[in-house]
Structure 1
Amino acid sequence: MSLFPELDGPPSDRLFFGIFPEAPVAEAIAGRARDLKGRLGLSGAPLTPDRFHVTLHHIGDYAGLPRGIVAQALEAGEAAGAAAPFEVSFDKAASFNNRGNNPFVLQGGEGLSSLHAFQKTLGLSMAHAGLGKQVAKQFNPHVTLLYDRALAPEAAVEPVSWTVSEFVLIHSLLGQTRHIVLGRWPLKG
C-alpha cells in the first residue's frame, strides 16, 4: 500500500522547471525548424512556437499532481529567482537517438555557459527545498524542434539568441500537449 494512493497508476502529469523564449524568438525558432526540416529531408511536423522551451530540471512524472512536491518546487523557484537575466545562444541542430521517435533539437556551445550556471543555481535551491533527488545530474540544454523517425547529423545554424528574463514551473498534462504554469519568477539579480 502506497503512502500516496492518489499518485498510484500510470503517469499523467509531469513537473519541470523551464525557460521559454518570447514570441518573436519562438517564431524565429519555428522558421529554423521549417528550413532545417526541408534541408535535411525530415518528415516530422515542427512543434508549435508556444511549445519551444528548454527544460532546466525534470522534477518527475506522476499519476496526479503531488501537492507536497509542487510546494517544494515553488519554494525552490522563489529562492532561485534572485539571479540576474542572462543571454543564451543556440547555434547548431542535431537529432537525439530515441529508437524511432527521435527529437531533432537546437543545441549550443559557449553561448550556453550562463544557462549552465543558472541551472546549477536552481539545482542548489531545489536541494535546499528538499528536492535533491530530482536535481538533474547531467544537463544537455536544447530546444526540441520536431520528432522524426530519421536521424539528422549535426548541422550549424544561424544562431538563435535571447535574453532569459524569467523561468517557470510547468505542470505538463502528458499526452495532451498542454503546459500549465504553476510558478513564474522574473530574474532580477
Structure 2
Amino acid sequence: MSLFPELDGPPSDRLFFGIFPEPAVAETIAGRARDLRGQLGLSGAPLTPDRLHVTLHHIGDYSGLPRGIVAQALEAGAAIAQTAAAFGVTFDKAASFNNRGNNPFVLQGGEGLADLHGFQKALGLAMARAGLGKQVAKQFNPHVTLLYDRSLAPETPVAPVSWTVSEVVLIHSLLGQTRHIVLGRWPLKA
C-alpha cells in the first residue's frame, strides 16, 4: 500500500463538507426539479432526494481514501460544531451553470443565503487550523444541483425553498457510483 494513495491512479474517491436538507424539504426540492424540467424543456434526470445537498468545501478527489486528510477534516468538523449555531437558508431561483455540455441545473438564492456564506467561511477557518488550508474554497457560490443537462436554462424565479441547517456532514463520495458515505456528522448549536 502506498504512503500517498491520492497519487496512485485515477481518482475514485471524493471528500467534501456539505449540508443536506431534511427529507421533507428534499422531496419538495425534487418536486421543483421535476416541474422546472418540464417547464424549461430540459431532458436530464433529476437527482434523487437523498443526493440533494450544498457543497461547502470540496476537499479533493483521490485514488483511495487518504486517511490523514480524513483525520484533519474530522478535526475541522468537530471544531466548527463547538462554535457554530444552526441557521436558515432560502433558495428562490434556478439556473444552469455552463459546463460545456454537462450543465448543472441548480437552485440558487440571494439574501436568504447570507448566514450560509458566513458558516462556510468559518468552516474554512476551522479547516485551515486543522491543516487543510490548501483545500479551503477561495470562492463560494452556494447551490443545490437538481440535474445535469446538455441545454442551458435561463435564471428562473422559483417559490422559495427554506430549511434550518442543523448539522454539517463530511462525505466520502465514490466517484461514478452515485454513493455518499457519511464519515462525520456534527450537530450545530440550537
How high is the TM-score relative to the length of structure 1?
0.97
Aligned-pair CA distance for 1:188: 1.1
Q: For 2:50, what is the secondary structure of its paired residue?
A: helix
Kindly report which structure 2 residues correspond to 1:41-120, keeping only aligned pairs within 5 A, or say none: 41-82=41-82, 83-120=84-121
Please give the alpha-carbon distance, in whole angstroms, between the structure 2 residues aligned to 1:171 and 1:93: 27
Aligned-pair CA distance for 1:79: 0.4
**Gaps in structure 1 of 5+ consecutive residues:** none
- Aligned CA RMSD, in angstroms, stands at 1.1
Aligned-pair CA distance for 1:6: 6.6
Q: Deviations over 1:46-86 (max 9, x none)?
A: 00000000000000000000000000000000000120000
| Matching residue's letter, 2:50 | D
Give the paired residue count.
188
| Matching residue's letter, 1:151 | L
Kindly report which structure 2 residues correspond to 1:89-168, keeping only aligned pairs within 5 A, or say none: 89-168=90-169
Distance 1:5 1:70, change over 3 A: closer
**Gaps in structure 2 of 5+ consecutive residues:** none
Q: Deviations over 1:134-176 (max 9, x none)?
A: 0000000000000000000000000000000001000000000
How high is the TM-score relative to the length of structure 2?
0.97
Moved runs in structure 1, 4+ residues, more than 6 A? none
Q: Deviations over 1:98-145 (max 9, x none)?
A: 000000000000000000000000000000000000000000000000
> What percentage of residue pairs aligned between the two structures are identical?
86
Q: For 2:154, what is the secondary structure of its paired residue?
A: coil
Residue 175 (structure 2) pairs with residue 174 (structure 1): yes
Q: For 2:9, what is the secondary structure of its paired residue?
A: coil
